[in-house]
Amino acid sequence: MGIGVGLGMARFPFQETDNFWRWVELCEAGGVDSLWQTDRLVSEEPFLECMTALAAIAGATRRLKFGMNVASVALRDPLVLAKQCATIDFLSGGRLLPAFGIGTDTAPEWAATGRETRGRGRRTDEALDIISRLWRGERVSTAGEYHRYHKAVISPLPVQQPLPLWIGGSSAAAIRRTARFGTGWQAGLEPPERAGRTRRRIVAALAETGRSIDPEHFGTGFFVYFGSRDDAVCQRELARFRTALPDVDLRHLIAVGRTEILSTIAAYAEHGIAKFILRPLAGSDAELLEHSRQLIDEVLPQAAEIALGRP
């Protein structure tokens, strides 16, 4: 399989809903590996709710896979989340790529819902155990620290057995979580060398658990743009980075032009990262559609030829 390239959305970038569906059709016909929807429940900016968005995409496509990047498990009921994922995978014929994390402690959802950030890692681990068991068809009874169920069971089960379960995050806890539950891993803000270092730590942790992850199931994402880094759309995104994390250099998260996009993919691939979520930046619906066409025509064919490192 080698390098796989999907496209992703953070904020909903379209002024007209019809153009969103034109974009989905373009990706379906153009050989894009997968579509990914960022999870955000509370925002003054337009964000689609990830689970319902993926259900809609499932009904509008026949080939594309799709996932959430990444859903915050601690903000959701694990039985409902497991049922949603199983339903989408069942109705799509096995095309869902669930990806989960704990959510950042600065996310507005915590205060908005009255939930404490303390313990969100333990809450996530407890929920992932429940979700995994439900997907396997087990009848789950548990009296945990955060969740209590009595003979909970779901049907129909996911078509994919096992259903993929991608984990996000690079902390020591996220690495342990990936080694325990994951079938794939998504980097967050890490540049190539740090992503490769986390990948190696996950592989070492897997050796201790006796589990394995496909070497090609380690991924990352970054923004892409065809134009100049000085253009307003790039400068706005860089300004968002500086506001969110003023002490962190995140310029590596934007690649401008075909050459830089491919060289960024190659830099990550050198460190064993094989799956990519490219998020097109644009100033209008027409520009976003055109940039996506350029990605499909100019980047995807050459990305598929990049050699994957196996550090």
Q: What is the CATH architecture assignment of 4-303?
A: Alpha-Beta Barrel (3.20)
pLDDT confidence of residue 310: 66
Judge whether residue 306 has pLDDT over 70.
yes
Between residues 308 and 255, the one the model is more confident about? 255
DSSP 8-class letter at 63: S
Judge whether residue 290 has pLDDT over 60.
yes
pLDDT confidence of residue 68: 94
Judge whether residue 268 has pLDDT over 90.
yes
Least confident of 31-35, 107-111, 243-247, 263-267: 243-247
pLDDT, the chain, mean: 94
Mean pLDDT on 271-290: 96
pTM of the model: 0.94
> How far apart are the C-alpha atoms of 229 and 98, rounded to whole Å?
33
Mean pLDDT on 105-128: 93
Least confident of 101-115, 125-139, 210-224: 101-115
Mean pLDDT on 226-242: 92
> How far apart are the C-alpha atoms of 33 and 183, rounded to whole Å?
17
pLDDT tens digits for range 57-96: 999 999 999 999 899 999 999 999 999 999 999 999 999 9
CB 124 within 8 A of CB 74: yes
pLDDT confidence of residue 104: 84
Mean pLDDT on 277-306: 95
Report the relative pairing of strands 148-152 and 140-143 from DSSP bridges.
antiparallel
Domain range summary for the chain, segments of one domain joined by +: 4-303
